[in-house]
Structures are given as C-alpha cells and as structure tokens.
Amino acid sequence: MPNNSSSRLQGSDLSCIRDDRVLFEELCFELNSGQLLLLEGENGSGKTSLLRILCGFREPDAGQVLWCGHAINDSQYYDDMAYVGHLDGVKKELTVLENLKVSLALGQRGQYSIAQALLKVQLADFEDAPVQSLSAGQKRRLSLARLLITHNTLWILDEPFTSLDKQGISLIERLMTEHCKNGGMIILTSHHDIALPSVDVQRILLS
C-alpha cells in the first residue's frame, strides 16, 4: 500500500549520453500520486537508460531527479521505490514461497500477505514449486507478486508484459490500476498498448 498520498517525482533537465550519442537532453517531467508515466520510443532511444537513472543505477549527464522535493540520494526514495527489469529477479533454485519470503525480509510489509499476492497473480497453487520449473510467464508473475507484498509507492517496470499471455496482461493491468487508485505511482516502458481507462496516464516519447 502506498504510504504517501502527496508523493511527487520530478525529472529536471535530464540528459543522457551513451557512446558519444545524445539519447535525450533537457528532459523534464513531474509524476504525482495516482499517475502512470509510460516511456515510449524505438529500441535504443534511451528508455532503459532513463529507467536506470530513475533507479539510481547511473547518474544523469546533466540534470537531477527529485523525490518529494529532495534529491533522490538525500531522501527515503530507495525505500519507496521498487524496480522490476527485463530479468525477473527471482532465484531459480528456490521455491515460489521462498523467493517471496526473501523479498519480504528485505523490505517493509505491504498491503497483501504472501498468500494473497499469489492468489492475485494466479500462482496460489505453486507455493512449493521450484522457480526453475515455472514457465516464463509464471516467472514474470512471480516477479510482480513481490511488488504486492512490499510497501512501495513507486513502481518502475521495464517491459512488465514480457512473456505474458492475454490473460496475464489483463491481470497486470488490473494490478497497476489498483496501485494507482490507492495513491501509488508507476513508470514503465512497454511495446504493449496499455489499456487503463481509469488511470491518469502520461507519456514521454523518446526518439
């Protein structure tokens, strides 16, 4: 459950250069509670690089990222943010239940229990299954279940619909809608045309 109904993330004059190529420059945005920001653009346009900056994995070449008016390194930003990237971020040698217990031990308890989260992502019958036995889509659902059991206002998702069928895509769209309605915030990249009619969706096109 998001913990702050007035949270705000700002990107101020952000620039990113990779291999002497300017991916983007003087990029500005503001994201508030209940909103979703969709990053669009072709492969290589800088979407993942921008996510890495927002996650603190790399510094911008210019500009700054602010969380509730403070630089992200000088705030509780990293406690409030959760990231799911291209890789599912789960340990294949552990079971589904063991993976979620590890995630819970590393973060604050969220709105849902492990059992409730597994039910939400339709993995309720897979608690004791080794992750290595799951399909690609089931592993993706497990990675997203981690968001439900921990207490994070901002979700940063890099292609969250990868490996999901139509049912899985609809499921994740419902979870994202619920998160925003509860005051959460989401930033994501996706080649999938998201359908969230009740969510305030902003878009940034990188080229």
What's the pLDDT tens digit per position in 56-109?
999 999 999 999 999 999 879 999 999 998 877 889 999 999 999 998 888 778
The pLDDT of residue 191 is 82
The pLDDT of residue 6 is 77
For residues 127, 133, 136, 139, the Cα torsion angle rounded to the nearest 10 degrees is: 30
CA pair distance 24, 26, nearest whole angstrom: 7
DSSP annotation of 73 reads G
The pLDDT of residue 111 is 80
8-89+152-205 in CATH: which number?
A: 3.40.50.300
Question: What residues does each domain of the chain span?
Answer: 8-89+152-205
Alpha-carbon 32 to chain mean position? 15
Q: What is the mean pLDDT of each run of 10 residues along the chain (207 residues)?
A: 72 95 96 96 92 95 96 89 87 95 84 93 95 94 92 94 89 93 94 86 93
The pLDDT of residue 193 is 81
Helix intervals (H) in the chain: 47-54, 77-80, 96-106, 114-120, 136-149, 166-181
List CB contacts of 174: < 8 A, sequence separation 6 or more.
none
